[in-house]
């Protein structure tokens, strides 16, 4: 039973356009959400996070939106760049900050940004 779902395994976007990656979750106890980015043969790296007390968090070209009633979050990248091509993992925790490690990860969405 997947508690964190990324229903789109892949996404292709033109350079300069907006990339929108979606994530749905089922556990209403989740109070903290993170996005990780992963290049081939490398470990995931932290991108951006949001706690459940907010509905938006922005960091440069990256914005995460959280809709608690819909149990849905999305990552917006604008403008998209070829270097953004990677696999993006959504993760959720019922333990704020997730420092106890019990993050639940989605399967990931492979983003391809074409020049």
Partner 1 sequence: DTAVSQTPKYLVTQMGNDKSIKCEQNLGHDTMYWYKQDSKKFLKIMFSYNNKELIINETVPNRFSPKSPDKAHLNLHINSLELGDSAVYFCASSLPIDSANTGELFFGEGSRLTVL
Which residues form the interface with partner 1 (CB under 8 A)? 32, 34, 36, 41-46, 49, 89, 91, 93, 96-103, 105, 107-108
- Minimum Å gap between C-beta 45 and partner 1 is 7
- Minimum Å gap between C-beta 100 and partner 1 is 6
Provide the phi-psi class of 41: left if phi over 0, else alpha when psi is between -120 and 50, else beta: left
Task: Give whichever of 14 and 45 is closer to partner 1, judged by the CB atom.
Answer: 45
Task: Give whichever of 25 and 89 is closer to partner 1, judged by the CB atom.
Answer: 89
Task: Give whichever of 65 and 105 is closer to partner 1, judged by the CB atom.
Answer: 105
Q: How far apart are CA 65 and CA 22, in angstroms?
A: 10
Task: Give whichever of 12 and 51 is closer to partner 1, judged by the CB atom.
Answer: 51
Q: How would you classify the pairing of strands 86-93 and 109-114?
A: antiparallel
- Minimum Å gap between C-beta 79 and partner 1 is 25
| Angle (CA) 57 33 91, round 5° | 135
Identify whether the C-beta of residue 2 lies closer than 8 Å to the C-beta of residue 106. yes
């Amino acid at each position: 039973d997947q508690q964190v779902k990324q229903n789109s395994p892949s996404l292709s976007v033109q350079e300069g356009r907006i990339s929108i990656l979606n994530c749905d979750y089922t556990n209403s106890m989740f109070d903290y959400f993170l996005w990780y980015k992963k290049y081939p043969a490398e470990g995931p790296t932290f991108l951006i996070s949001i706690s459940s007390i907010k509905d938006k968090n922005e960091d440069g070209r990256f914005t995460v939106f959280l809709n608690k009633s819909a149990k849905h979050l999305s990552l917006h990248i604008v403008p998209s760049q070829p270097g953004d091509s990677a696999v993006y993992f959504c993760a959720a925790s019922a333990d704020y900050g997730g420092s106890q490690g019990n993050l639940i990860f989605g399967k990931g969405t492979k983003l391809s940004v074409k020049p």
